[in-house]
Structure 1
């Protein structure tokens, strides 16, 4: 069985904000039924209370549907619900007028009926105007809707014979209430879009980092291979022409071609070797800076000083992949990096909170599979999985060569914290 709240923890931060926004506006409909609709049933006139409750429930349901359609439109998932907005406006006006008609046709002198109908009148207009603004993208249209509802709220009672003062007060109440709901709707949509844009920017930053590294590698290969291949082509053409003429210099040219080919092969290997090797110190510092820029508190314990180059290169790739996973998979608020030397092995552990699901989407990724293959080649291991209810831990162990194993003093230094917490 799923644990309570698992569906919520698996959501990303933008999805959580969207869910909270959506259900907050749905709750307005629930409040409308509980505060305005149900008290009308318990009044002195059950014949009028039932119709009032039915109208309030219908209006609340229509508001909830409009909220869902309008928020989907703001996120670009469907077209603007123009027809639904008009329907909500018309239904709000009809229900408001119907509530006033109930007062006119109700028992004379019944203050309770008038109070209940007045509450329905004002609440329907306020929520109707506010919910409609969720589906409007132009600020001028928002102002127009609020002012139109407030004006109608004052004109209708005035036409039915209400005093001017009462009509003015009703209009002012609807103006303030609808304006508040409209402001809340506009602010909620703005915050929701901002959260999605920030999350998209974080994803783009990770993709740009990968693209930049690919461009660097491509540029290095072009610089190395471009000149060599050009020279090889020229030397080969010259050798062909000399061979066709029966000149003995063709052998010298082909020997030069062979030498250049071996040199090009050596340079390519150096480029690839430099690309594959990662400096653990640089990766730790870089990960700390990137996580801090993303608002993730990062605590680093231990130092790679004294570790052999092979161990630093392998663990540097682990650190790079771990930092990328923290940024891309989950909603982390803290990250702990621990590096220690124990019993001839170097252990690097990266733990973060805010995982999505059981493994945060990282249990079987291709990046982790590649790291396992890389560490297996040097006798190391890699473990990744949940470390608690909402935590994920990645642990890599690399053996130390006996001849390069640091002394006890260096081992103690490697286990001391050299960098503080960065928030």
Structure 2
């Protein structure tokens, strides 16, 4: 289990504990007043109303928090949702009646006169926090209003009680606002941990998607050229065998060697170790195209100065361009030019036999190559230039300098 998941569960436990202990405490406090000096006709309704207000408010708050995906689902959700308007009305009416009856008990102690109204007003206002559009300031103001009402709703009995209520008035407002503030802090912590959990899940999904994309891209780039080579060699071997040429056996052994090499490349892709070397790719492209009867020329200037990520991206571009020449062209000539100067680095692959293609058609290989180049700040263009088809990849000087600096070498 991840640390974030553990944090979510702990925070949910804190919130559950706070909700299920704080709300029931309201009728417990009211119960304590039953043994006080107030007559039973006031104390008993006060107890009943406080109990109803507490549990109705708890139901409203739970439903709102679950609607905001801040608490997990519960078996009571269907009941609460179906009867939410009624429960909300009961909560409002019972809360106002409880607040009004509280001051009827008469205040004889400063601590009780400060703490009980503040606690009562804050708890009865807390269900408003479940509404995303409600500001914490408004909840605090409602809590203070309810708390002050519970302090002053009934007339003052004598001057001593007036002085006591006047002294408690500030602390009632302060404690009610502080209680709401702590509740808002709990809610924000719960929201933050939920967002972290979602971010962790999203990151895991993106990592899986990225790995799948890498695997499919590498598989296409590797086997596009490999299968083209196998098809070419197999066709040559079949023609040689039909004519009774002794070279047929050697050609088929070359097909076998290509297949064995492809097996190793598959293992490298699966392990994530597959890499491409620019010089080796150019040499391989030359050998493969010349075997297909294509005349190949190369021009390399400043290849040694290319940062490794750019060299790898250019190597994949050489591989993809070679695959496309074999599969989609009737070329007799191909030219590979790699150039590095003050403006940046450029790879250009040209062939003279492009076939007609649908307008705007672009294969998955070119899309994958575009993504590879984007990772190093490069761009790709491919299209006809007269009677030729040209694939051009470029990386500007700024990106080259940044990549060279990241490698710890000179630009």
Return the index of the structure with the highest Cα Rg: 2
**TM-score, normalized by length of structure 1?**
0.47
Higher RCO (C-alpha under 8 Å, 6+ residues apart): 1
